Amino acid sequence: MKIAIGTDHAGYPLKETVIAAVKASGHEVIDLGIHTLEKADFPDLAELVGNTIQSGRAERGILICGSGVGVCIAANKMRGVYASTCHDTYSAHQGVEHDGMNVLCMGGRVIGIEPAAEIVRAFLSACFIHDERFTRRFNKIKEIEARGK
């Protein structure tokens, strides 16, 4: 898979760890920035990652800001982007398997290097389970999205 990655300045310290975990899992990285510790606004990075998924250039994305919350809120404003903040491995794989999550959000000021790498591996190794109940629920999410309220 191609994985789009974006961080603001608060998420930047985890970026190399995340990139290494993605590559070690056998996936390709699309690094959308930032590339220095210079201040950056998280909505801009969330939009870049979201656009990359919407265009089909990446199948999934990873966003990192200070808490993981801001990038998650911003990313979820985009059609076809299903983001969640995860600071544990269970949520990271279950979000993909049951809920169709395609963007993992993490807080660079919340978790450390090893947990971040483990969470990335859990996210990337998971696949949506095409069970009737999960498909039904995911389709309901897409219906809400299509109504745009």
From the number of C-beta atoms within 10 Å of its C-beta (0-12, 13-18, 19+), residue 98 rates as middle
Say whether 98 is catalytic.
yes
Runs of H (alpha helix) within the chain:
12-24, 42-54, 69-75, 89-99, 113-125, 132-147
Q: Is there a cis peptide before residue 5, judged by omega within 30 degrees of 0?
A: no
Say whether 105 is catalytic.
no
**Residue of 65, 72, 86, 105 marked active site:** 65
**Residue of 9, 27, 87, 98 marked active site:** 98
Closest CA to 85 of 34, 26, 11, 139: 11
The answer to whether the beta carbons of residues 47 and 61 sit under 8 Å apart is: no
Give the residue numbers annotated as catalytic, written as ranges: 65, 98
